[in-house]
Amino acid sequence: MVCQKVVVNEVSGWLRVFDDGSVDRTWTGPPQVEFMTEPVPPHDEFIDGVATRDVFVNKNLRLRIYLPETNPEDESKLPIILHLHGGGFCISQADWYMYYHMYTRLARSAKAICVSVYLRLAPEHRLPAPVNDGFSALLWLRSLAQGESYEPWLINHGDFNRVFLIGDSSGGNLVHEVAARAGKADLSPLRLAGGIPIHPGFVRAVRSRSELEQPESPMLTIDMVDKFLSLALPVGSTKDHPITCPMGYGAPDLDSLKLPPFLLCIAERDMIIDTEMEYYEAMKKAKKEVELLISPGMSHSFYLNKIAVDMDPQTAAQTEGLISGITEFVNKH
């Protein structure tokens, strides 16, 4: 007799957890959007001005590198943008098409090397596992800068004095955490020049007004927030955990953290805009250097929705504005 596995938790379309602890992340939502979750194979040749490769640092650390095409006569080094992907700490991969289409564009626009981390996922690897992965990636970049490791694209083209952290949604939470951890470490000769949390998943145990009143979006619903975090947070924790609520009572005082300049990117119609703004106000109160980039009329992670970017002129324009704002921030620092 074959025992049938029973689903004990499910996030519609994205993830199913079974009673034996196994997890199925096969996309079961609308088939017309499945392509956004398909992996894009690496390609050493330049396609639309960008080449990509995957690097295995160790058994826990794998990275995707985006190298923009440059003029061979231009010997100037390129800034390095370390990307921490979103997905509520539970889903998505660095090679998904939704990230590929965004970060090839950013690499071209900012003339920067993007390095995206394949983060370990919950519930198999609960927080702080992805924080550790992001910081390990930063330490690997330091080892390249010190000459202790070798990766030709980064060694030949990367400027280790201009390293930035960037993260989408839950990856924005990781930007804060990794930057805070970096502030306690000696990264020389590498310099962490800035952090760019995009629509970070900052929440608290008590629902904000925007969670109750803003419309849900394809990229974020109340159900997704609640279920993903129940699977990702350390057992027994609430959303007031420092990783999900860094501006809250349970987190280290922001005054005590050594942080680089931040560009906080938010969307006007994001369901969690209230708590993102609470973070911004707390950072300003702590006298941290933080700029705000608001995308009017947009919802959570709008720029990753390739269908909307292609079909809706407003989404296309706001995506271009977001990329331009990030490029300006990188060029300034």
Parallel, antiparallel, or unpaired for β 158-168 and 78-84? parallel
- Enumerate helices (H) and strands (E) in the chain, giving the number of each: 9, 12
**Considering the domain boundaries, does residue 32 fall inside one?**
no
Helices 97-110 & 313-332, crossing angle to 10 degrees? Answer: 50
Q: Name the pTM for this structure.
A: 0.97
**Considering the domain boundaries, does residue 23 fall inside one?**
no
Task: Return the number of other C-beta atoms located less than 10 Å from residue 212's C-beta.
Answer: 10
> Containing domain of residue 65, as a range?
39-332
**Considering the domain boundaries, does residue 9 fall inside one?**
no
199 is catalytic: no
Reported as type and span, the H/E element at residue 273 is helix 273-285
In degrees and rounded to multiples of 5, residue 129 shows phi and psi of -50, -50
User: Across the chain, what does the average pLDDT equal?
Assistant: 96
- CATH number (domain holding residue 247): 3.40.50.1820
User: Catalytic residue among 217, 237, 300, 301, which?
Assistant: 300
Mean pLDDT by 10 residues, the chain (333 residues): 82 93 93 94 97 95 96 88 98 97 97 98 98 98 97 97 98 98 98 98 97 91 96 97 97 97 98 98 98 97 95 98 98 97
The domain total for the chain is: 1
The DSSP symbol for 256 reads G
pLDDT of residue 316: 98
pLDDT of residue 1: 53
CA atoms of 199 and 117, how far apart (whole Å): 18
**Considering the domain boundaries, does residue 289 fall inside one?**
yes
Parallel, antiparallel, or unpaired for β 192-198 and 262-267? parallel
pLDDT digits (tens, 9 = 90+) for 1-20: 557 889 999 998 999 999 99
270 is catalytic: yes
pLDDT digits (tens, 9 = 90+) for 81-126: 999 999 999 999 999 999 999 999 999 999 999 999 999 999 999 9
54 is catalytic: no
User: Catalytic residue among 270, 274, 295, 299, which?
Assistant: 270
